[in-house]
Amino acid sequence: MEQRQKFRIDTATPKEQKENMASPDLKTKLEILADAAKYDASCASSGAPKRDSKNGKGMGSTTGAGICHSYTPDGRCVSLLKILLTNSCIFDCTYCINRRSSNVRRARFTVDEVVGLTLEFYKRNYIEGLFLSSGIIRDADYTMEQLVAVARRLREEHHFRGYIHLKAIPEASQELIAQAGRHADRLSINIELPTETGLAQYAPEKKQTTIRGTMAKLKLRIDEVQAERKAPRFSPSGQSTQMIVGADGANDATILTTSAALYASYGLRRIYYSAFSPIPDSSRALPLKAPPLMREHRLYQADWLMRYYGFDSSEILAGDAAGMLDLEIDPKFAWALRNRAQFPLDVNAAPREMLLRVPGLGARTVDRMIETRRHKTLRLDDIARLKGAVKRARPFIVTPDHRPVQDLDSAAIRARLAPPPKQLSLF
Ligand code: SF4
């Protein structure tokens, strides 16, 4: 018979009871804990324009009341209530606004409050699910119990069928993580920083071996459940992670190498890159300025190349001494310019894996081209019709009606095609 964990949800310590007595009202808690959750990019809609209705004016805010948009594995855009259970934390990770030594206003939801808010927002059609994370309260197990209690009550007592994404605490017991996986659609554990040295320097209470060990156990369980049709449900949307970019000195080559190893070892659905934001009263070891948001964007593009375009992490930046992605042009275009000897390609004969490397040709366009060239010879117009970006692809392809000018060097192509630089908005 299934052993059910006894939840210690009503056993607040005297200190916690005192804090609760002085606790802000629900609306203020929501403001504080939704704002605190925005630093977790694991379900963010990157690049969305900033909209805010915190002052009570306007409609359609994606941030003011903790509602964010996320994409499900099948590509649907869903709105989630994205909050922390609490922004109090016993850990002191230097890069984190919620760290123990941070001088921010603290708040903590009860399990009842999160359940109530989720149901209310859901019934009003504001959200389709919940993204719940938390600072570490007391210890890892206690915190995980609270997160699981929210999900369990939503599922078992209120028969909530919406999407639930829970943050798994790596140091929590396997039994609690197993329970989290039973109720959540997705679990995520943040790897935090790309290197073990960085983690030891900036988050000494966290251990990369523990984080990776828990990710490995999640993968094992997810794989087992997928293999056995009658196995009980466990995190059907898999696991994801988040990496902070620009807090430590890791370059993009190191970040991409770490990402490739994470995808290969733990079957992650997604790695989210979160540009470090400077925080008040932070350690001197941290940079004073945020990295350019374009760096985060380029990392997502490089990540895409590894997952869908057959690029190996080592070749994306091969030949770049600094190991940093070019901020002015996308990584596929940069790779093609560094590897001019491999072009131009005859689009009517080149294999799929090489066509995927042509700037301006996306994976879908390449598949359509391969399908079409079975019964007709592709010309430039056909590529445009199949949604290829012909202007971008021209220097790299040959068709019966086009042959690029051979003496056009990489610098000239870059000057002609590089878009004017633009800064993205974070939220
Ligand atoms: S454990 Fe999480 S919430 Fe706590 S300080 Fe570290 S990053 Fe912040």
* pLDDT averaged over 10-residue windows placed end to end, the chain, 427 residues: 44 62 82 89 48 45 58 67 96 93 94 96 92 96 97 96 95 96 96 95 95 97 90 92 94 97 96 89 83 94 97 90 93 94 95 97 97 96 94 95 79 77 53
The CATH architecture of the domain made up of 14-49+62-241 is: Alpha-Beta Barrel (3.20)
pTM summary value:
0.84
Residue 18: predicted pLDDT: 60
Query: Which atom of ligand 1 is nearest the CA belonging to 100?
Result: 5
Residue 350: predicted pLDDT: 97
Distance 235 CA to ligand 1 centre (A): 23
Residue 231: predicted pLDDT: 85
Residue 49: predicted pLDDT: 37
Residue 16: predicted pLDDT: 63
Residue 320: predicted pLDDT: 80
Nearest CA to ligand 1 atom 3: 135
Distance 171 CA to ligand 1 centre (A): 13
For the chain, the structural domain boundaries read 14-49+62-241, 331-417
The backbone torsions φ and ψ at residue 305, rounded to the nearest 5 degrees and listed phi first, read -60, -40
Distance 248 CA to ligand 1 centre (A): 16
Query: Residue 248 in contact with residue 192, Cβ under 8 Å?
Result: no
Mean pLDDT of the chain: 87
H or E element at residue 241 = strand 239-245
- Residues within 6 Å of ligand 1 by CB: 89, 91, 93, 96, 98-99, 135-136, 203
Residue 7: predicted pLDDT: 46
Pull the structure tokens for residue 416.
């002609």
d(CA 299, CA 272): 9
d(CA 310, CA 357): 9
Tell me which residue of 145, 187, 191, 138 sits closest to 164, measured CA to CA: 187
